[in-house]
Structure 1
Amino acid sequence: MAETETAQSRTDFLRSLRAVREFKKTPVPDDALRDILEVGRWSGSAGNQQGAEIVVIKDPKTLNTIAGLEGFVHHLAGAALGLLIVMPGQWAEGDAFDEGRLAERIMLAAAAHGLGSSIGWLTGSGREAGRQLLNVPEGRTVRTVISIGYPATAARRGVRKPLDSIVHAAKYS
């Protein structure tokens, strides 16, 4: 019984993650940030290459500048901090896979600390502008950026399609 309750509480937590795009002005405590980064460090990677690096952005001016770049990153304006994921840039598919794993892990760790977050990505000229703004070496992939902070409002429960409409038994039907 205890195992079931533990499993249920864990999966309930996973289902509770919501994108937060509006934040209070309260800074994220350093110990919470360090723990989030540690969780990210332990995220899996293809071949255990551990190629991802993270740029921590706390300066409001820099966050606002990034929020204005091409892409889906407007939620960085007003966030307590942003985490830019930097990938090696040598294997596009592998980088994208590892980058997604890392981003989700970071967001779950933030939620465990009572923080909200939202994933965003730089597109087109925003990727190069972001790379230059944050002094990321040429050749590295700059795409995913996560805003983190204390939610300004309670997250609304999301609506999802019924499970039967997205799961197919044995083959696609």
Structure 2
Amino acid sequence: MSETEATAALVAAARRGDGGALERLYRRFAPVVHGVLLGYVQHADAEDLTQHVFEVALGRLADLREDAAFPGWIVSVARRAALDQRRRSAPLTGVGIELPAGGATHEDRADAERVLRAIRALPEAYRETLILRLVEGLTGPEIAQLTGLTPGSVRVNLHRGMAQLRQALAVREEGARS
């Protein structure tokens, strides 16, 4: 059974009220939803919004026309939730980053915040794939599988996004030295 077929089978089971299928959908797609949300909102908000996105999506599962379309659909639900949250919230004054407790220095935190700000300034397609790769730790094939993008699109987005990220960070580094 292909990944698309497996996802469609889980969605069909979830529509029938199978709680185990709902749990498996959540475990499988929560990193993608969280990664998409991080492209728009602070870390703490992304945690809460991930739960909200699944509540909304599972409540609207009957509206999904094709079970196999779930990956792209859940990503679009996440984007809408993030944009709604951003409209309701005050502008970001800082970027909330959680680093591992051991060895995270103030400099590490500042670097992580600087990189995430730079990623958030990228076009949406690059921002999302980079966060899914760099923050959520998903591989290119996993990103494709869980978002509904083609593997080729993911490779292009990662390649172009990394190039733009390197350029943005280099420009900021230059500005900091001046």
Superposition TM-score tier, normalisation by shorter sequence: 0.3 to 0.5
Higher strand share: 1
Instruction: Normalising by structure 1, report the TM-score.
Output: 0.32
Higher relative contact order (CA 8 A, sep 6+): 1
